[in-house]
Amino acid sequence: MEDIIRQIEEKYTALGQNPETYLKGLLHSKPLNYWDYTQVDALLNLQTPRTDFADEMIFIIYHQVTELMLRLIKHEIEQVVFSDKLNTDVFVEKIERCSRYTEVLTSSFAVMSRGMNYEDYNKFRLSLAPASGFQSVQFREIEIYTTDLINLVRYDLKDKATTIENSFDYLYWLDAGLDRKTGKKSLTLTQFEERYLKQLIDLANKCETINIFQKFTAVKTTDENYKALKTALRKFDYLFNIKWPIVHLETAESYLIEKGMKRAATGMSDWQKYLHPSYQRRIFFPNIWSEEELKNWGNFVL
């Protein structure tokens, strides 16, 4: 006890504070409880259905669950990106965590694909236009934190992307909402850009030399953790850019295809084509895949 009091005294004295004030404050402060710590009341009040269909609650909550898992992925990635002295064993551990979170997202997607009434979903979703999961900014932030921007530029437009700013005119994900011939953008895309484009360009500038791809490139092949790191990055690339897109696409197909006919999605994309990983070719670490794997991107199981 004396030792702890001495350490408290030292800590606050070093901060130029009176330790007695803090000890008295401790005497009067209330013990913590679970609901205040986890803010569970706030969390459980963040759902605002737009219709009376009971299953809309599942749709909202599962999107929120996904956003929280994306937050966890970002939390790990940010530590790698902003670390000055990164040990490669920590690097491996962080990427393995990202894969674990992504696995949770792929294995739980049945909550969507099998968990909602088909007719009800196809009614309540009409009240949600033009909102779309496409507008998830965390999804785009993870991409930008993880790889060089050029790897997010559509594969056949790479020559045109010469600066960070102009690369944003050629990103693969514009194909969900931009008619590249007429230059016309969907409302879903316009809304998203108005809200987030500047912030994403800033992030891309900030991450240009410190993103995960750059950090990996700086690791020497002789490093004792090089192989484990490569394996971890391959797994994360596969899970985030092939496995999750496939389960997501299969879910879209289970609700939006009827008698072989494709229904329009709320974001109005040519979704069946756009969402397939072999079309998107979103590959965070192209230099760790074989030519064969790159050729078959989206069509193999790791």
Phi, psi of 261 (to 5 degrees): -100, 135
Check binding of 155 to ligand HEM (CB under 6 A). Answer: no
* Interaction between residue 132 and ligand HEM (CB under 6 A): yes
**Partner residues linked to 261 by β-bridges:** 258
C-beta of residue 85 within 8 angstroms of C-beta of residue 158: no
Q: Does 136 bind ligand HEM (CB under 6 A)?
A: yes
* The one among 115, 133, 286, 298 contacting ligand HEM by CB under 6 A: 133
Q: Which stretch binds ligand HEM (CB under 6 A): 134-142, 157-165, 189-197, 202-210?
A: 134-142
Three-state secondary structure readout of 100-138: HHHHHHHHCCHHHHCCCCHHHHHHHHHHCCCCCHHHCHH
Q: Looking at beta carbons only, is 91 or 121 nearer to ligand HEM?
A: 121
Site string for ligand HEM, 173-192 (x = CB under 6 A): x--x----------------
Nearer residue to ligand HEM within complex by CB, 230 or 262: 262
Residue closer to ligand HEM by CB (options 91, 244) is 244
Shortest Å, Cβ 255 to ligand HEM? 5
**Any idea what the Cα angle at residue 274 is, between residues 95 and 186, rounded to 5°?**
110
Map residues 38-67 to x or -, x wherever contact with ligand HEM holds by CB under 6 A.
------------------------xx--x-
| 40 vs 187, beta carbon nearer ligand HEM | 187
Beta-carbon neighbour count of residue 75 at 10 Å?
Answer: 13
Check: CB of residue 267 under 8 Å from CB of residue 186.
Answer: yes
CA–CA distance, 123 with 138 (Å, rounded to integer): 27
User: How many residues bind to ligand HEM according to rule CB under 6 A?
Assistant: 24
Q: Which of 187, 189, 158, 190 is nearest to 171 (CA)?
A: 158
**Hey, what are 227's tokens?**
């192989």
User: 208 and 164 in contact (C-beta within 8 Å)?
Assistant: yes
CB of 172 to ligand HEM, least distance (A): 8
User: Contact with ligand HEM (CB under 6 A): which of 112, 171, 232, 242?
Assistant: 112
Q: What's the CA gap between 106 and 116, in Å, rounded? A: 17
**Closest alpha carbon to 241 in 281, 274, 299:** 281
**Nearest to ligand HEM of 58, 210 (CB atom):** 58
Of 234-293, binders to ligand HEM (CB under 6 A) are 248, 251-252, 255-256, 265-269, 271, 275, 280
**Residue 146 in contact with ligand HEM, rule: CB under 6 A:** no
Residue 155 CA neighbour count, 13 Å, CB half: 12
Measured CA to CA, the distance from residue 286 to residue 159 in angstroms comes to: 17
> H or E stretch including 9?
helix 2-14
Q: Which is nearer to ligand HEM, 109 or 213 (CB)?
A: 109
Least distance (Å) from ligand HEM to the CB of residue 91?
26
**For ligand HEM, which is the closer residue by CB, 24 or 273?**
273
Binding site for ligand HEM (CB under 6 A): 62-63, 66, 112, 132-134, 136, 139, 173, 176, 248, 251-252, 255-256, 265-269, 271, 275, 280
